[in-house]
Amino acid sequence: MIIVMQIGATREQIDQVADAIRSKGVEPLIMPGQDRVAIGIPASLDNDQRTDLTAVLGVIEGVSKITHTSHPYKLASREFHRADTSVQVKNVKIGGGSFVVMGGPCSVESYEQFSSAAKIVKKSGATILRGGAFKPRTSPYSFQGLAEEGLKILKAVGDETGLVTISEVMSGDMVSLVSDYVDILQIGARSMQNFPLLIEAGKSGKPVFLKRGPAAQIDDFLLAAEYVLNQGNSQVILCERGIIPLDRTYTRNTLDLSAVPVLKEHSHLPVIVDPSHGTGVAKYVTPMAKAALVVGADGIMVEMHPDPKSALSDGSQALTPNQFEKMMAELKFLGNAIGVEF
Ligand code: PEP
Ligand code: MN
């Protein structure tokens, strides 16, 4: 429910509305607008509570309109927050008009490998450095990441280059460890509905990069974001990374680019596209990265490895340094043409 106050409604009238909502056991969300205040109820009320509250609010002076929200998520919705949210991480702003590029290898493998990837990321004008230290692998026999050693390398290289860093955290009890080393916590596609993890990430107060689960509907995705927001952490970045495909012959997943305008319509959160996991094939990454820019994404996350053939994970989708630099040049050219800033 959202209660829209009249233009010029007094502080007392707003307080009366807020108190009436609190009497139902929920905390109201006061949303000052340009010329009037709206008050949101970020919780689901049952029918009786709603009818009751509507009756009480209807007679408070200063109330202009009571509307019922159409989505199960509240804090993530545009109804509750009209303006685009941007997440500021050090000197990088994610969302709010410009286009950010996150680049780096799937996994941190060694200082040499990671530092050499980071130099290319920086040189080509990308601003965020990615690299997994804890890897969610389908097989327990595959490379699982360097764990804390990987985080140390990530932090050292981040400090050396001045790039903002992002890395995945897979469980709630690891949030504090990963938070000590990285600027942005990544929650992977497989963990999108790991609710204790979402809650811990929310509590950490760190920016959270949430990937869409391969079988998640848009509402599931935004409700997962709602878990983080509901902990008082407003720094949430959404990532479309491909959903289960009809045909795996040619691509690993189906990159759902239509999710970008849909998410932008129904949510105020920044949306990033990951064409690497979205296609699983290096040669399709640049075309889909360009498509992401055109469709209105706030940025991309792209895997790049100094030597993809020797990569310990996701080598087949990793761009070479040359391909990464070429992609960046093409994106900048395209960005210029359509008026998107880098
Ligand atoms: C990754 O970013 O390396 C990763 C594991 O991605 P996803 O969670 O989208 O599969
Ligand atoms: Mn990967």
CATH number at residue 139: 3.20.20.70
Distance CA 73, CA 75 (A): 6
Q: Are 190 and 132 part of one and the same domain?
A: yes
Question: Is the CB of residue 253 less than 8 Å from the CB of residue 292?
Answer: no
Percent of the chain with pLDDT over 70: 100
Question: Is the CB of residue 209 less than 8 Å from the CB of residue 239?
Answer: yes
Q: Are 329 and 263 part of one and the same domain?
A: yes
Q: Are 25 and 98 part of one and the same domain?
A: no
- Residue 70's pLDDT band (boundaries 50, 70, 90)? confident
Q: Are 122 and 57 part of one and the same domain?
A: no
**Which are the contacts of 219, defined by CB distance < 8 A and separation ≥ 6?**
71, 72, 73
Ligand with smallest separation from the Cα of 313:
2
* The residue to which tokens 């509901």 are assigned: 230
Residue at 74 is within a domain:
no
Residue 270 has pLDDT above 90, yes or no: yes
In the reported structure, the alpha carbon of residue 27 is separated from the centroid of ligand 1 by a whole-number distance in angstroms of 35
Residue at 253 is within a domain:
yes
Among protein residues, the one whose CA lies closest to atom 9 of ligand 1: 189
Q: Which of 231, 217, 207 is nearest to 95 (CA)?
A: 207
Among protein residues, the one whose CA lies closest to atom 4 of ligand 1: 188
In the reported structure, the alpha carbon of residue 233 is separated from the centroid of ligand 1 by a whole-number distance in angstroms of 22
Distance CA 83, CA 268 (A): 6
Q: Which of 183, 164, 185, 165 is nearest to 174 (CA)?
A: 185
Helix (H, G, I), strand (E, B) or coil at 220: helix
The average confidence (pLDDT) of the chain is 96
Residue at 75 is within a domain:
no
Residue 14: Cβ within 10 Å count = 20
Residue in 277, 314, 316 to alter for ligand 1 test, most ligand atoms within 8 A of Cβ: 277
In the reported structure, the alpha carbon of residue 107 is separated from the centroid of ligand 2 by a whole-number distance in angstroms of 7
Return the pLDDT at 189. Answer: 98
Question: Is the CB of residue 187 less than 8 Å from the CB of residue 169?
Answer: yes
- Residue 138's pLDDT band (boundaries 50, 70, 90)? very high
Q: Are 57 and 99 part of one and the same domain?
A: no
Question: Is the CB of residue 80 less than 8 Å from the CB of residue 32?
Answer: no
169: containing domain = 87-338
Residue in 107, 167, 241 to alter for ligand 1 test, most ligand atoms within 8 A of Cβ: 241
Residue 283: Cβ within 10 Å count = 11
Return the pLDDT at 69. Answer: 85
Residue at 260 is within a domain:
yes
Residue in 143, 168, 305 to alter for ligand 1 test, most ligand atoms within 8 A of Cβ: 168
Q: Are 191 and 316 part of one and the same domain?
A: yes
Q: Are 45 and 178 part of one and the same domain?
A: no
Q: Which of 264, 262, 287, 263 is nearest to 275 (CA)?
A: 287
Can you tell me the mean pLDDT for 271-295? Answer: 98
Q: What CATH number should be reported for the domain holding residue 19?
A: 3.30.70.1140
In the reported structure, the alpha carbon of residue 122 is separated from the centroid of ligand 1 by a whole-number distance in angstroms of 22
For residue 301, give the ligand 1 atom closest to its CA. Answer: 2
Question: Is the CB of residue 181 less than 8 Å from the CB of residue 151?
Answer: yes
Q: Are 54 and 119 part of one and the same domain?
A: no
Q: What is the pTM of this model?
A: 0.95
Number of domains in the chain: 2
Q: Are 21 and 112 part of one and the same domain?
A: no
Residue at 77 is within a domain:
no
Residue at 72 is within a domain:
no
Query: Which residues have C-beta under 5 Å from ligand 2, the single-atom ion?
Result: 106, 314
Q: What is the pLDDT of residues 14-37, one digit of tens each?
A: 999 999 999 988 999 999 888 899
Residue at 139 is within a domain:
yes
248: alpha, beta or left? (left if phi > 0; alpha if psi -120 to 50): alpha
Residue at 79 is within a domain:
no
For residue 130, give the ligand 1 atom closest to its CA. Answer: 2
Q: Are 117 and 215 part of one and the same domain?
A: yes
Residue 45 has pLDDT above 90, yes or no: no
- Residue 42's pLDDT band (boundaries 50, 70, 90)? confident
Residue in 211, 244, 303 to alter for ligand 1 test, most ligand atoms within 8 A of Cβ: 211
Among protein residues, the one whose CA lies closest to atom 10 of ligand 1: 189
Q: Are 108 and 50 part of one and the same domain?
A: no
Query: How long a stretch of residues is the chain?
Result: 342
Q: Are 49 and 107 part of one and the same domain?
A: no
Distance CA 8, CA 300 (A): 43
Q: Which residues line ligand 1 (CB under 6 A)?
A: 106, 132, 136, 188-190, 211, 241, 277
